[in-house]
Homo-oligomer: A and B are copies of this chain.
Amino acid sequence: MPRQNALKLDLKEACVAAAHEVIAERGVEGLSLRDVARKLQVSHQAPYRHFPSRDHLLAEIMRRCFDQFAQYLDERPPADSPHVDLAHMGERYLQYAASHPLEYRLMFGTPWPEPAEHPELVKYAVHAFDVLRNALRTMHAGNDDREEIADLDALFIWSSMHGMASITQANVMSHLKLSKKVTKAAAAHMMHRMSLALPPEKT
């Protein structure tokens, strides 16, 4: 690649990395292209070469989060049944939320920049949801209303996963006098209950 293009690419990636740092330090409300430029010690105008606005930079960061998250779910171990596959996916979901709290909050706890202007963000977010939706379409194969049931179950499962990922962070949790055993078993118990809730394996 010509050196000029390599430099341009570096600046774009550097902006994304610096924006992550700004968000980690000051929250998403604190993100501005000016701060990103200051962190990189480049001119105030430099980030505009790649991002027409602060919202475009934020949308690009969110898009990458959804992409990374979907890949993380896709890397679950192979399974020989839809139930086992969903259990693997659930484990990966909670692992991702626990190990990437900033990215997780950006995806699901942050108001989006105007989505109509950021179709790539929408595309990658829908793709992440489709990982779950497709596993459920496989589970409900043969049902007349399989797309509808798959969507409903996807919302049920996503709710439970997102809820578990969120309440384990909630301040109230540490005051509920839950035993260590309960706290440790909570996610596995939820996965067990969910497998009872879903239609049994076809044998």
Interface, chain A (partner B; CB < 8 A): 107-109, 111-112, 115, 122, 125-126, 129, 148, 151-153, 155-156, 158-164, 166-167, 170-172, 174-179, 181-182, 185-186, 189-190, 193-194, 196-198
Contact = CB atoms under 8 A, between A and B. Distances in A.
Contacts of A162: 163, 166-167
Given A159-B190, A161-B163, A182 B122 contact: no
B179 A148 contact: yes
A156 B152 contact: no
Q: 5 tightest A-B contacts by CB?
A: A163-B163, A159-B163, A197-B197, A112-B171, A193-B197
A176 B126 contact: yes
B179 A129 contact: no
A78 B174 CA distance: 31
A159 B164 contact: yes
Contacts of A198: 193
